[in-house]
Structure 1
Amino acid sequence: MSKHVLIIEDSGSFRMVVKVALERAGYEIIEAASADEACTLLDGRTIHVIVCDVNMPGMNGLDFVRHLRTTNYKFTPVVMLTTDSQIERKAEAADMGVRVWITKPFQPTYLIEAISKLCPL
């Protein structure tokens, strides 16, 4: 059975880099350019891991996770991607159950390792 990863990232080029790396690792990818778009894509889909940017226009990544925790996906593991290294935001994310916080830039292999621990193929 394939493992599905939802990538929420407003930068199209960065989203593509993450998508290609995860597809090569064997994951099936669902993409969203915003948290609002991701909310509509979640309806009825099987999602095993969510990779979400923190700083996005509109609903940011932390607001998305806050919303996510009120849905049927409340136990879905979340990996946050950010250029922001503020300890307070990282602590807030951890309090909401975010399992991994990755600061950009990073090597795709680091993300693949983190996801494979949360959701082995």
Structure 2
Amino acid sequence: MALKSDMKILVIDDMATMRKIIKNMLQQIGFKNITEADDGATAWPMIQEAMNSPAPYEFIVSDWNMPQMSGLDLLKKVRETEELKKLPFLMITAEAEQGNVVIAVKAGVSNFIVKPFSASVLKEKIEKIF
């Protein structure tokens, strides 16, 4: 699948600054259709609602560590849902959580990225997924 600039992307991070940084990077890469959520618990109903709409999310970029529902828990919910099984999911993790990568891979993550990262690294990871 080629990268489409209008691909519907959901960025999930409990830190507004981080969401802004990721959104800016995605825009630098050329994406325009970006929605934000501040937690897995906020994102999940958004994903479900979009799933049943004419315009479902086509890519999720989620932080691992969030207060109410972690990125891993969200990933598991996404993978347990038949219609979302193949939804590309990029997990963002802090350096200290790198050991969690194995857990994320087992849970079906498409790819992961370690903070801090640049737009070029993000682009590379996205290209690998698609």
TM-score interval (norm. to shorter)? 0.7 to 0.9
Partner residue, 2:118: 107
Aligned partners of 1:79 and 1:99 also within 8 Å = yes
User: Does residue 25 of structure 1 match 2:29?
Assistant: yes
- Over the matched positions of the two proteins, sequence identity in percent amounts to 33
| Greater shift in the superposed pair: 25-34 or 41-50 | 41-50
Partner residue, 1:46: 56
Partner residue, 1:62: 72
TM-score by length of 1: 0.88
* Structure 1 portions without partners, runs of 5+: none
- Give 1:118's aligned amino acid: I
SS at structure 1 position matched to 2:84: coil
Give the Cα separation in 2 of the matches to 1:86 and 1:116. 21
Deviating runs (4+, > 3 A) in structure 1?
none
Which structure shows the higher helix fraction? Answer: 2
- Give 1:80's aligned amino acid: M
CA gap of 1:108–1:96, structure 2 versus 1, over 3 A, is: same
Q: What is the total number of aligned residue pairs between the two structures? A: 118
Aligned partners of 1:49 and 1:115 also within 8 Å = no
Give the Cα separation in 1 of the matches to 2:129 and 2:45. 24
